Amino acid sequence: MTTPLGFDPKFLADIDVPLPDRADVVVLPYTHFSVSIDPARRLAAVTGVNIDGASLKDVDRGDNWRLDDRLPAAQQAGNELYKNNDLDRGHLVRRRDPVWGERAVAERANEDTFHYTVCAPQTATLNQSKTLWLGLEDYVLENAEQYGRKLSVFSGCIFAENDPIYRGVAIPRQFFKIAAWSQDSTPACTGYVLDQSPSLDPILDKPLRLETDPPPLGPYRTYQVPVADIASMTGLELDVLIEADRYAPVAAARAEASRWTELTRLSDIHL
């Protein structure tokens, strides 16, 4: 099998949007996406995926989670983190996003999303806010249809020093997502943060869960935020995206305490 080319910074035609960089990460290319792993945290600092909305394919999901043999096992968080508890293997690259192009390529992209390097521990709460988080790409794709239905999406963990340790892994309380597209030959983007803090403690403090136990309900909170804030929280180089941020003028017009907009429905998003 040929080596996957990974995330393409020139995917959005006439603009160049690189994979955000940061010190001390290992970049792993997959089919239509790349993952930058923080070996010390054993999770992804950032992922980047190219989405061709006009060429998406429906393929069988599969569920063959596996480690990536290009990286030492000690630098990845595998099944031992997720077994017998209420932590989901949360796709940082949404499974269907890279699944486009020729059938064989789309199927390989789907399989690639089931590497443990592509996921992060997220609480197993399927409430409105989680559904909203998963639907962000679709909403932006629909609104970017006039620009070719192509997106580059960056997602990752927001690491903090006080993240709780569970089974030897510091569990992120927050995650980010940035959706970028080409608008009139210039880059445009919007940024978001998912906060799972309220639902983490009940999971990490409880004993092993039986398979028949229902997951505890707990709120996710989703925000639209300035991309500059994501850069500050993650240490990622996001200069191109900060300049392209469509939400920045909205945040700049508000008081510091209200720069973030909590989203309860997709129509709350500023594009």
Q: Are 19 and 9 in contact (CB under 8 A)?
A: yes
Q: How far is 38 from 119, CA to CA, in rounded Å?
A: 13
CA dist 50 → 8, 54, 141, 155 (Å): 7, 12, 12, 12
Comparing CA positions, the residue from 165, 191, 223, 211 lying closest to residue 40 is 165
- Ranges of beta strands (E only) in the chain are 26-29, 33-38, 43-52, 87-91, 119-123, 150-158, 165-166, 169-170, 174-183, 186-195, 221-225, 261-263
One digit per residue, the tens of pLDDT, for the chain of length 271 reads: 565 689 999 999 778 999 999 999 999 999 999 999 999 999 999 999 999 988 989 998 888 999 999 999 999 999 999 998 888 899 999 998 999 999 999 999 999 999 999 999 988 764 455 677 778 888 887 776 666 688 999 999 999 999 999 999 999 999 999 999 988 888 999 999 998 887 787 767 655 444 444 433 345 688 999 999 999 999 999 999 999 999 999 888 888 778 999 888 888 888 8
Fold of 26-268: Extracellular Endonuclease; Chain A (3.40.570)
pTM, entire model: 0.90
Quickly count: other Cβ atoms within 10 Å of residue 270's Cβ.
Answer: 13
